[in-house]
């Protein structure tokens, strides 16, 4: 430290050097500033002394200067003021720019009343549809939660941990399963150590006025889990707004998290498949003359012909058959007759004679030779190996051509479909879904189910803006005209609902029936045997109860039909003209006279008693089942009468699980080729 001035011939010395050597502590204190102020000195922070010219000062004058400096200087250093050093941490480092520290209070209150630190964990679970307003609202909630997290962390000493979960699909996140599977929603789950987890409904309709209402609604929910109100920390835009938020009750929370119903059993056959022919009954017949029927089928002799047909026709239906297997030969006869009834401008029906071109049919299994395969634009879209009459195949071809899900364009078409009018014909059952848009998760699940059930059910949909998703099955010929779906719109429960609600309450078996509908299944059969004129109102009431149908299969047999005489003889009802309810439980028969029963509950009690009662008759399993004769009559109606021996089949009395017998569709990699080729056939048909 030097004093500026002119040079004289006096003793020259550095004031800084003397002061630094004599009073080192003095320079460490505020005397530095006093010297700088009063004497114009320069202080080097590095301990260097600037050797610029100095003022010549004699020794007495130096004493005076030092006395003045010491008198003006003050030092706050504890060791200089002979004070004990304070124990504890050292002073904090300088705060980052823009950080006022915890002494800062946004409301202007004294620092001493700042809140204690606390912690809240939140989860924002939401789903939006394609409507822009709903998407915007959820995005706003996400953004405001982010802003609140930052603001409350600094101003309210609140550590807010938030997670955003978007549930476009139930499978997107494990927590999505705890919330509704359909529709739009915004739920805020708030958790703290004292109150636990509470679910709040952030209603869009009540809070989408502006951003301020959303902010106040969220602050309201957070305040309920905070030791002090948090609404005081609202932004200027929100402090005058009122937000609306509601905590779900315990009952609502329990219902919200209720798992999907476990009852997803489904029927094995659709309404179109209740009168199928058992292949075992065809194998005992003669095939004479079946392949000489007149037809309009296109025969494919080479791979190129087959590929050309697929590329030049939108819809192609092909049968790979042979004249050795009786079931295959009967199937060819049926398709030949169907070919005369279809519109050749819309579809092409073709066949491959595997007994002539074995190389074309390598790798086929037994039931592949009576399987009809459908192609659309060269791609395999489905197949059926079920055998019935011509009408069944006409309906199946129509369903495959129109697609698994039909669109209704207005209320007029919707009203007609409710009455069963669809595709210019009256249908036994039609399942219709109404949705707000095609992006709705319920509609997407409905599509998945429709693809799975393609060719078996008439399914339609209507798009109505603002409409909550709903699905109902309409049955124009039933006592109960409409059955509503009340599930969570998951594919499993939807499939179960469609299969069960589409079936008629009572199956008329007078002209035959599908074997596994009545036999080879676990439920007892309640068979009404009466004349066509009999009033079956009580029986229909019992059969229309959904819960009862889970335990019984309801069927009816017209006594005055020409097809039933032999069956009545085997059931020992040929001499009894009274209406009778025959309970068939495997090989055990119970007879319930109906002339004295006038109440549905009374009839149901009689039916339930037969489970444990001694049977009135036991069917011998070494003889043909009595109902088998109805099926033989049906075969003779379709293919012509033949004298055949009905063989006993003990498997008809054995339980089998009601698993839907649906073939996996083999998706070809390219157009053309047999859809069932495996093994060596793959080399010939690369697309398979």
How confident is the model at residue 402, as a pLDDT?
95
Instruction: Indicate whether 685 pLDDT > 80.
Output: no
Which of the two residues, 464 and 256, has the higher pLDDT score?
A: 464
CATH number for the domain spanning 512: value is 3.40.30.10
How confident is the model at residue 170, as a pLDDT?
55
Looking at 45, 64, 85, the residue that finishes a domain is: 85
State mean pLDDT over 522-545: 93
Share of the chain above pLDDT 70, in %: 76
Least confident window among 122-126, 192-196, 368-372, 647-651: 192-196
Instruction: Specify if 517 maps to a domain.
Output: yes
- The DSSP element (H or E) to which 263 belongs, if any, is none
State mean pLDDT over 615-635: 94
Instruction: Indicate whether 552 pLDDT > 50.
Output: yes
Take residue 533 and report the two structure tokens written for it.
């004129």
Domain count, the chain: 4
Instruction: Specify if 100 maps to a domain.
Output: no
The strand pairing partners of 161, in sequence order, are 121
152 and 217 together in one domain: yes
Which of the two residues, 622 and 9, has the higher pLDDT score?
A: 622
Range of the domain at 73: 1-85
Instruction: Specify if 262 maps to a domain.
Output: no
Instruction: Specify if 63 maps to a domain.
Output: yes
Instruction: Specify if 104 maps to a domain.
Output: no
How confident is the model at residue 180, as a pLDDT?
80
595 and 670 together in one domain: no
If pLDDT is split at 50, 70 and 90, which confidence band does 668 have? very low
How confident is the model at residue 184, as a pLDDT?
84
Instruction: Indicate whether 3 pLDDT > 60.
Output: no
81 and 179 together in one domain: no
If pLDDT is split at 50, 70 and 90, which confidence band does 259 have? low
Looking at 205, 221, 256, the residue that finishes a domain is: 256
567 and 530 together in one domain: yes
Instruction: Specify if 444 maps to a domain.
Output: no
Does residue 136 sit in helix, strand or coil? helix
Q: In the chain, what is the straight-line distance between the N-terminal and C-terminal CA atoms, in Å?
A: 97
Instruction: Indicate whether 23 pLDDT > 60.
Output: no
pLDDT digits (tens, 9 = 90+) for 124-134: 999 886 666 66
How confident is the model at residue 320, as a pLDDT?
96
143 and 245 together in one domain: yes
Please tell me the distance from the alpha carbon of residue 650 to that of residue 76, in angstroms, as a whole number.
110
Which of the two residues, 104 and 647, has the higher pLDDT score?
A: 647
Average pLDDT of the chain, as a whole number: 81
Q: Are 567 and 538 spatial neighbours (Cβ–Cβ below 8 Å)?
A: no
Which of the two residues, 14 and 332, has the higher pLDDT score?
A: 332
Radius of gyration of the chain (CA): 45
CA 257-262-267 angle, to 5 degrees, is 145
pLDDT digits (tens, 9 = 90+) for 327-357: 999 999 999 999 999 999 999 999 999 999 8
State mean pLDDT over 484-492: 90
538 and 600 together in one domain: yes
Instruction: Specify if 370 maps to a domain.
Output: yes
80 and 130 together in one domain: no
Please tell me the distance from the alpha carbon of residue 314 to that of residue 336, in angstroms, as a whole number.
20
Share of the chain above pLDDT 90, in %: 53
């Amino acid at each position: 430290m030097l004093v500026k001035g002119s040079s004289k011939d006096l003793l020259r010395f550095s004031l800084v050097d003397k002061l630094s050597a004599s009073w080192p502590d003095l320079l460490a204190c505020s005397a530095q500033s006093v010297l700088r102020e009063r004497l114009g000195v320069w202080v080097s922070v590095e301990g260097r002394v600037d050797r610029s010219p100095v003022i010549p000062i004699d020794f007495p004058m130096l004493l005076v200067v030092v006395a003045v400096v010491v008198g003006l200087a003050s030092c706050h250093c504890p060791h200089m003021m002979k004070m004990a050093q304070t124990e504890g941490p050292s002073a904090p480092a300088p705060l980052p720019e823009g950080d006022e520290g915890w002494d800062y209070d946004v409301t202007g209150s004294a620092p001493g009343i700042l809140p204690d630190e606390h912690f809240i964990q939140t989860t924002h679970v939401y789903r939006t549809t394609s409507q822009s307003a709903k998407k915007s609202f959820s995005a706003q909630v996400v953004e405001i939660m982010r802003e609140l997290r930052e603001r409350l962390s600094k101003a309210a000493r609140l550590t807010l941990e938030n997670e955003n979960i978007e549930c476009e699909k139930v499978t997107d996140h494990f927590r999505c399963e705890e919330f509704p599977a359909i529709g739009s929603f915004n739920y805020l789950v708030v958790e703290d150590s004292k109150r636990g987890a509470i679910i709040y409904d952030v209603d869009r309709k009540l809070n989408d006025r502006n951003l301020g209402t959303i902010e106040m609604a969220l602050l309201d929910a957070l305040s309920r889990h905070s030791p002090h109100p948090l609404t005081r920390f609202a932004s200027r835009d929100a402090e005058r707004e009122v937000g609306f938020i509601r905590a779900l009750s315990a009952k609502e929370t329990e219902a919200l998290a209720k798992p999907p119903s476990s009852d997803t059993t489904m029927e094995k056959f659709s309404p179109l498949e209740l009168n199928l022919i058992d292949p075992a009954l065809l194998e005992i017949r003669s095939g004479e003359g079946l392949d000489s029927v007149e037809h309009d089928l296109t025969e494919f002799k080479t791979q190129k012909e087959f590929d050309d047909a697929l590329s030049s026709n939108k819809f192609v239906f092909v049968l790979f058959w042979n004249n050795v297997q009786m079931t295959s030969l009967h199937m060819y006869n049926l398709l030949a007759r169907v070919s005369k009834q279809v519109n050749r401008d819309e579809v092409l029906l073709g066949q491959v004679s595997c007994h002539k071109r074995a190389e074309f049919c390598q790798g086929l299994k037994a039931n592949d030779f009576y399987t009809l395969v459908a192609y659309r634009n060269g791609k395999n879209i489905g197949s059926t190996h079920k055998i019935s009459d011509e009408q069944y195949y006409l309906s199946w071809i129509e369903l495959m051509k129109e697609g698994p899900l039909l669109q209704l364009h207005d209320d007029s078409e919707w009203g007609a479909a409710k009455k069963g009018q669809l595709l210019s014909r009256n249908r036994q059952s039609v399942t219709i879904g109404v949705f707000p848009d095609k992006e709705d998760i319920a509609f997407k699940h409905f599509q998945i189910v429709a693809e799975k059930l393609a060719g078996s059910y008439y399914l339609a949909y209507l798009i109505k803006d603002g409409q909550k998703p709903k699905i109902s099955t309409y049955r124009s010929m039933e006592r109960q005209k409409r059955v509503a779906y009340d599930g969570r719109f998951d594919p499993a429960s939807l499939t179960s609902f469609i299969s069960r609600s589409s079936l008629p309450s009572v199956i008329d078996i007078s002209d035959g029936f599908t074997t596994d509908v009545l036999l080879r299944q676990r439920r007892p059969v309640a068979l009404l045997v009466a004349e066509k004129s009999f009033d079956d109102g009580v029986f229909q009431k019992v059969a229309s109860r959904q819960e009862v149908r889970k335990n019984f299969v309801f069927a009816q047999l017209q006594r005055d039909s020409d097809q039933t005489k032999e069956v009545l003889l085997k059931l020992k009802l040929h001499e009894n003209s009274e209406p009778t309810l025959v309970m068939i439980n495997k090989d055990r028969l119970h007879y319930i006279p109906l002339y004295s029963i006038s109440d549905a509950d009374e009839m149901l009690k009689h039916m339930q008693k037969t489970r444990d009662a001694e049977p009135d008759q036991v069917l011998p399993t070494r003889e043909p089942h009595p109902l088998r004769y109805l099926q033989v009559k049906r075969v003779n109606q379709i293919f012509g009468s033949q004298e055949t021996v009905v063989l006993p089949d003990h498997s008809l009395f054995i339980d089998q699980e009601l698993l839907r017998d649906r073939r996996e569709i083999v998706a070809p990699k390219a157009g053309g080729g047999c859809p069932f080729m495996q093994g060596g056939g793959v080399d010939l048909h690369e697309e398979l």
